[in-house]
Structure formats: C-alpha cells, structure tokens
A and B are shown apart, each in its own frame.
Chain A
C-alpha cells in the first residue's frame, strides 16, 4: 500500500479495506453518504506489520504457536499460548520511530480529547465470519501515551484465546492474521443502541434496541433495552417493549465507562422519541440499500445528532455453525460479577449439597440390600452422579476462569517477566487433596516408627482394631472412599493401600528444594506489589479479584474430590452388585455397566449384551527401530528431575508408584494425586497451566511438563527420563 499507515477515517476509500479493516472501511463509506460518524484515525495493518517486524514480536508469536500443531492444542493450551503472547505484547513497546509517527498523528487529531480505541480487523465483519466481540476495545482513553498503549493492547487481542479458537474453527491461518486499529473521538451519548434492518423473525420488520447512555451496556447485556418493532415499508411502530425498569445507564468515567444510576425523571421516559425512530428507520433503509443487504447497525445520539458507530452485514443463518461456537468461546470469559455469583452458588449451595448427597449414600448399607433394593440403589446413584457430573461441567469448570481473569489483570498491571508469576499468589490454599495427602503421610509415619506393625501389614495381616493406625486409617476411608474404590475390593483393596503406605514409609520424602524456587518472590511480596498497582479507592476491587482467583484455584481441585466422593458411592454399589453376579453369567461382571448390572440383579433371565465396554483401543504397534529421545510439551512447573518413568495407563498401576518415580500419565485427576508426593516429576498428555497435574506439581515444587499427546505410548515404563520443567522437555535417557 502506498498510503501512510496512518489514515484519517475521512480519507479512507473502499479499496483500503484490506489494510484498514471492515469496520473502518464501512464507517468511511457511511460518512461519504453524508451521515454522521465520530472523526477517527486508522492505524492500518501496515502499522501492525511494522511493529511486528521491527520489534521481533513476529518471531516470538511464531515460536509460541509453532511448539505444537495448533490443531492438536486443547483450549487450556490455547489459553496458555494466548497468555504468553499477550505477555510478549505487554513487554514489547512500539519501536521509537513508529511511536513518534503515531504520537504526532494522535496529538494532532485528538489533543487531550477522550477517545475510543477499537479493533478493525481485515477479516472481521465479513458476511461469512463475524468476529464481533472477539477483539478488545477501550472506551474513554485520554492522552497520547495512554492511547498508544491501548493500540498495542488491541493488537494483542488478535491473539486472545477466543480469537485463536475462532480462527481455528474457521480454518483461517492464524500466523497470517493482521489487525488495524481505529481511534475515534468519544461521543457522550444521550441514547444508544442497535438497529437490525431485518428482524430475525420477520423480513418485513426492523428491530431497534435502545438504552440511555453509552451502548456498551446494551452490547454486553448489562442494561436491558427498550425494543421496538417497525414496519419496514411504512416506518409504522408495530410494537414497543419497554424493560421492567430503567434504573441504570453506562456513562464515561475516568479511564473507562461504568454503570451508574439514571435521573429518575428520565427513567420513566423511553430513550427514543418517535422522531428518533423515524430517523433510524430512514438510516436503516439507506444503509441497507447502499451496502446491498440487511445490516446490523450500532448507533448513538450525541450532541443532538444521530451517529453511526458501526455497520456490518447481518450474518446469514446467524443461529448456526460457527456463530454458535463463537458464543461458546465468548462464554469462556466470564465477567467478574458472573464469577462472584458462580462462586457463591458453588460454595454455598453445590458443595454442601454434594457433601450431603455423598454422606447420605455412604450411610446406606448397600452390601446388605436385597437384590431389588440394590438394583434401585445402583440406578439412583447413577442418576445422582450424572446430575453432579453435569453441574461440574456446566458450573465448576467455567469457574476456573477466575484464575484466568486474575492472571490477565495481574499481567496487565505488573508486566512480570514470568507470565505465570500470578499462580504463586494463588497457591497455598488448603486443598482437599493436600489434606488427604497429609493423612496418608501421617499413616506412613506411624509405620516408619513401628516396624513390627509395618512387617505385619506386609504379610497381609490387618492392624489391631484399637490401634491409632487403624483409627486413622478408618478416618481416611470415611473421608476419601474413592481411594478404596481405586485400590480394589474389600480386604484386597485395603492390603493394596497398606502396601502403598509401606512404600511411603520406607522412602525418605523426595527433596523438593532444589527446583529453582530460591529465586521466586514470596506470595506476601507479590500480593503487596499487586495491591500497590491499584489506586487506594480501587483496592477493595483488587482484593476481591484476588479472592476470586484464589477460590477458583482451590475449588478447581476440591470440586473433583467432592465429585469423587459421590462417584465412590456409585462404585461401591457397583462393586456389591458385581460380587453377587460373579459366576452368574459366562462373562466377567466387571464388564457390566450400571444399567446392565441393575437389570441383571432383578431379572434372573437377563442376558447381558455381549460386551458393554467399548472395545479396548488396539495397541499401536511400536516400530522397534524408532525410539523417542526427547518430547516437547509445555513447561507447567519449574525444575529438573530424573527418575524411572512410571507409565500409568489406568488406576491399577497407581499403587505401585515408588518414591523417585516420574509419573507419566494421560490425565491427573485430584482423586489420584495422592501419589504425587512420592514422585520427582510429572509428564501429562493434557496441556495447560491450569490442569490439576500442573497445580499439584507446583504445590509440591515438582517439575511438570504437560501437553505431550502420546506420552503414555511414547515413553517406555521403567526408562529413565529427565523432566525439564523450565523448558517443557522430557528426555528419555538412551
């Protein structure tokens, strides 16, 4: 492109769209039609490219994205990539000459007037792919340096997890993405809203939604709008749907926009007069004609004049396919208020209810039930477990976003060298799994000090019922029954656990100090540095954010333990049923699922399906002449450790873990993290910093590498491996 990378909106032509982006090009065209827009400046994709090339950011982004095939990344890994890329942006100022050019242009056009800094990506707003809501914009930014900072943050949002996921969904080449930025004078709006020139339900109607104040409240759903349906041909108002009340509006406040109360006299009057509606109708018809199709138009009334903020085609079939995915990606980002409500529900409603459900189920002596009652209990337990499993997916997992929200705020404010520094501020909570592990460690201690008891247990004897060991062991059994379900049936399961405790007692705890923790800052210092970044009147909010982050960190682990307690009761009833089934059919009752078990218990003629288990995956034939030497994943907990690989393919191998092993597994669930204190390193298929394996590894200061897709197939059990938790590498010693 021959023009400068800085262009006034008024100078833009249609052919600039590939550099200026859809939003800016559409606004320029609207201005050309004689309609009002707020004056603005576009920093085209050439400016973005100059920043990328001259700052070395392009290479850094490429490196982050190139570590693993983008298609193979789970969303947690994409979030991590996005976090690291954002951190690169935060730490990389614009090169001085570029900064100087932008500074001059911004100064000249806006002086000290407040502005809005918005994205205008070339592939944004195209009819086939709507990026609406995926990139960031900043309202009420004042001062040249502040504006330049925000421009950089809008560029960074091209690489947010949402934007990355969406591009992958659409099969767009993420490395070829570029972003233009639009800076416009902020309009102090009397009313704002959205106009759809075609109602989704009736082609002959337009829909207008309007609120008092700035339009952010409407767009993000904070303020409920008035809604009008208009006859497209005649401009007649067909219906008006006011909200239940109009208590709030969004208004500019220093550094942004915020919800505030409405003047009570205004609150009783709709935000649009009929003359405004007529004017909007005319605007809609005109734009629809000029752009050649139905439009979704954001508008505002400021300085007594109607202004267009944005116009884009209404995406055809906007209820289907990629658009649905897009709303899901957007939903991954929960608002602060939403998280607060979610936390309250989880802590005050769900967890007490889960505890109660688990202890109620634990109280029934299913082993003594008649067949019919046992069948009923089995089905009931399945229903209870399914219910909680669904709540886990729908509410507990989204609450993990609390950590992410805190991480982003922390990184934006403090720009730490290590983008995961914020995790050190979250950890240290008394996790359920750590409490359980302490109980196990205490039992191992008893054995260490009582060799006679240890030897007796080794030979298969049970501990004396009134001994401290037996009492503590029963306490463990009551609180963490899932351990026993994993260990096996009845006495055999107990012996398996005794053996495990025996192993624990014989080994000195692995050293957890040599893992580079010495240079890390204390959580107290981190917290003080974080709080200092907030002005005094915003510190309550800062503390609340930190609190949400900590709760999210803790609950992410605890939730599974609570769910595990309910699952243990389902497994217990299943176990009782299977014992009765033994020898009844020609097949192993272990292969029967709950439903088949319940039917088999009550119907003597029941013939179970051939095999209710999914067929085991055929073992991949390992080529004998190819050996893995090094695998690259994500560094998830710092440190370096070497030890024999203990490859865990199912829970059976868990109790064989020896001190000094490197745990290699598919996924670490908090219900199996009791083995972690025995290990020196963790390698996991699932990727990301927020997965359980990574969290528990950091709690114990054990190096951890995640996101190695076929770790359990590629690493031979028993091979000596080195886990490099700094670089995310696993090396098989050959």
Chain B
C-alpha cells in the first residue's frame, strides 16, 4: 500500500464503520467500550456522545487522552489477509455551545437514529482531536497518518 492508498484506505474504513472501540483510563486502569462515532471531512476530528453518568465520562473527566480502534474484521481466517485496523490517538474535549451544535450536526448526519440520544440534556458530546492514526493492514504492515 503506498501513501496515497493509505489515506484512501483509512477514509474508507472511517466511512464504513459505525462503531469503534474507545479506550479511556483513570488512575492507571484502562477501560474499553463500544461507541458510535462520526468523522467529518477533516479526518483528524472525531465525534462521539455518551451519557454523563457513564464510566467513560467519568474517566474522560479525569484524563482526556484517548484512543479509538476501528477495524473491518469479519472474524474469519481471511482477516489475516484482508482486515484493516486503525487506532486513533488523541485528546477528547466535551463540546459546548455552538461547538456542541456543530458536532451534533456531524453526528446526526452519520447516526440519524441517535439524534435524540445525542441531543438529550444528560448526554455529553465529545470531540476528539486526533494526533495520529496507526493503521495496520495485511497483519503486519503499519503506517502512521498524522496532520
């Protein structure tokens, strides 16, 4: 995969996945869970929403550093050859005011059925500023994509 292909592959992966694995941490305990995410044209921005009572919200309040794993594995042997996985590494900040509205529009465009959930008063909308993606293809080939 050359460099141009790498970016195209990443974009394709981001556009094809609805859900990723978000990793947060608090007091040295890592914590991973599934979240619905959305990525606008700028791939270095990711949006997700979470209830303010959730453990991940609690973790994010303590430590905004996150990573998010997205992949297209099928849980078959073919994954060794065909699956692509990308890990985004960045910092999550809760969006407020007009920024929250901007994020909600991006999020609703991707997950219209989650619009009510995202707009709920008890839901926090987060924006991750991605420092870099680490993308793995063909089991062992790794590229880093960063602004």
On A, residues with C-beta under 8 Å from B are 58-59, 62-63, 65-69, 620, 622-623, 625-632, 710, 713, 727-729, 731, 734
Contacts and interface: CB of A to CB of B under 8 A. Distances in A.
A273 to B, nearest CB: 57
B140 interface: yes
Nearest to A69: B138
B2 interface: yes
Contacts of B4: 623
B113 interface: no
Nearest to A631: B141
A66 B140 contact: no
Nearest to A66: B81
B146 A62 contact: no
A630 B77 contact: no
Contacts of A727: 140
Q: Is the interface of B mostly helix, strand, loop or mixed?
A: mixed
A630 B134 CA distance: 10
A188 to B, nearest CB: 45
Contact of A632 (B78, B139, B144): B139
B141 A630 contact: yes
A629 B139 CA distance: 13
Contacts of B35: none
Nearest to B147: A625
A632 B80 contact: no
Contacts of B106: none
A60 B2 CA distance: 27
Q: Shortest 4 CB-CB distances between A and B: which pairs? A: A66-B81, A632-B140, A630-B142, A623-B3
Q: Which of A59, A620, A628, A631 has the most CB of B within 10 A?
A: A628
B146 to A, nearest CB: 6
Contact of A62 (B6, B81, B145): B81
Contact of B144 (A58, A620, A629, A728): A629
Interface of B: 2-4, 6-7, 77-78, 80-81, 134, 138-147
B77 A62 contact: yes
B88 to A, nearest CB: 14
B93 to A, nearest CB: 22
B138 A734 contact: no
Contact of B143 (A65, A69, A626): A626
B138 A626 contact: no
A627 B141 CA distance: 12
A63 B81 CA distance: 8
B134 A62 contact: no
A62 B78 contact: yes
A309 B139 CA distance: 46
A627 B146 contact: yes
Given A62-B80, A629-B134, A729 B140 contact: yes
Given A622-B3, A629-B134, 11 more contacts: A58-B77, A62-B78, A67-B138, A69-B138, A625-B7, A625-B146, A625-B147, A626-B144, A629-B144, A630-B142, A727-B140
Given A625-B147, A630-B140, A631-B141, A66 B6 contact: no
B2 A620 contact: yes
Nearest to B76: A62
B81 A627 contact: no
A65 B81 CA distance: 8
A457 B147 CA distance: 48
A66 B143 contact: no
Contacts of B7: 623, 625-626
A59 B80 CA distance: 9
A719 to B, nearest CB: 12
A623 B6 contact: yes
A65 B146 CA distance: 31
A591 to B, nearest CB: 29
A505 to B, nearest CB: 39
Contacts of A67: 138-140
Given A623-B3, A623-B6, A623-B7, A629 B80 contact: no
B45 to A, nearest CB: 14
Contacts of A69: 138
A629 B143 contact: yes
A727 B140 CA distance: 10
Contacts of B81: 62, 65-66
A622 B144 CA distance: 13
A66 B138 CA distance: 7
B83 to A, nearest CB: 10
Contact of B6 (A59, A63, A626): A626
A728 B138 CA distance: 13
Nearest to A63: B80
A626 B143 CA distance: 7
A69 B80 CA distance: 12
27 contacts: A58-B77, A62-B77, A62-B81, A66-B78, A66-B80, A66-B81, A66-B139, A67-B138, A620-B3, A623-B6, A625-B7, A626-B3, A626-B6, A626-B144, A627-B143, A627-B144, A628-B144, A629-B134, A629-B142, A629-B144, A630-B140, A631-B141, A632-B138, A632-B139, A632-B141, A710-B2, A729-B140
Contacts of B142: 628-631, 731
A614 B134 CA distance: 38
A416 B17 CA distance: 44
Nearest to A64: B80
A710 B3 CA distance: 11
Given A62-B80, A62-B81, A66-B80, A626 B145 contact: yes
Contacts of B146: 625, 627
A731 B146 CA distance: 17
A729 B141 CA distance: 9
A724 to B, nearest CB: 10
A495 B24 CA distance: 60
B138 A68 contact: yes
Contacts of A710: 2
Contacts of B77: 58-59, 62
B118 to A, nearest CB: 29
Contacts of A630: 140-142
Contacts of B139: 66-67, 632
A53 B142 CA distance: 30
A728 B142 CA distance: 13
B124 to A, nearest CB: 30
B23 to A, nearest CB: 19
B143 to A, nearest CB: 6
A630 B1 CA distance: 12
A625 B145 contact: yes
A626 B2 CA distance: 9
Contacts of A625: 7, 145-147
Nearest to A713: B2
A627 B142 CA distance: 9
A65 B139 CA distance: 12
Contacts of B6: 623, 626
Contacts of A623: 3-4, 6-7
B133 to A, nearest CB: 9
Contacts of A63: 80
Contacts of B80: 62-63, 66
A629 B144 CA distance: 6
A487 to B, nearest CB: 34
Contacts of B134: 629
A489 to B, nearest CB: 37
B29 to A, nearest CB: 27
A728 B141 CA distance: 11
Nearest to B136: A630
Contacts of A734: 144
A629 B140 CA distance: 10
Nearest to A731: B142
